[in-house]
């Protein structure tokens, strides 16, 4: 993924960064009220590109998350579905920032699991959740290790 970002050029180098609206939401800052069907107003080309990638990312996972409940049995009997999902939706998770990983879990994985019929748990859910939970545990452990190291350094500085 870093090699792809390098190909974007100087103009769009930050196109995959967090939108200002998302930053404000995380910080709890008030957002201007828009009508439900109004499209956001982007001032620069970079903001439009960021908005495009953000919307594309969200929409792809909304579609995948809704596919199970909408198509029901037809979706879950697709041959090799677990492998296809692992090799597409869950590829390069190291390059996905935390603020993009949460929607993936909430909008795609949660509906996939909750609408899956029990007879497909072994063939679909287990092959996906096993590696996913292992990866998430590793990722969280690394983040906690960094936090613990920072707190040790902070404690040493205050003594």
pLDDT digits (tens, 9 = 90+) for 62-114: 999 999 989 988 999 999 999 999 999 999 899 888 888 998 999 999 999 99
Q: What's the pLDDT score for residue 110?
A: 96
Which of these, 93, 81, 90, lies nearest to 109 by C-alpha position? 90
Q: What's the pLDDT score for residue 82?
A: 94
Rg (CA), the chain: 19
pTM of the model: 0.71
Has residue 142 got a pLDDT over 90?
Answer: yes
Q: What's the pLDDT score for residue 28?
A: 67
Q: What's the pLDDT score for residue 108?
A: 95
């Amino acid at each position: 993924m870093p090699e792809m970002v390098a190909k974007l050029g100087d103009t769009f180098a930050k196109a995959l960064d967090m939108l200002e609206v998302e930053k404000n939401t995380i910080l709890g800052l008030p957002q201007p009220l828009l009508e439900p069907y109004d499209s956001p107003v982007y001032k620069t080309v970079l903001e439009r590109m960021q908005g495009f990638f953000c919307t594309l990312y969200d929409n792809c996972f909304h579609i995948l998350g809704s596919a199970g409940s909408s198509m029901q049995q037809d979706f879950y009997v697709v041959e090799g579905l677990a492998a296809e999902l692992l090799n597409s939706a869950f590829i390069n998770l190291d390059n996905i920032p935390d603020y993009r990983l949460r929607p993936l879990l909430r909008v795609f994985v949660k509906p996939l699991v909750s609408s899956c019929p029990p007879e497909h748990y072994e063939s679909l859910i287990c092959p996906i959740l096993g590696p996913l939970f292992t990866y998430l545990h590793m990722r969280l452990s690394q983040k906690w290790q960094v936090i613990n190291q920072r707190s040790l350094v902070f404690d040493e500085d205050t003594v």
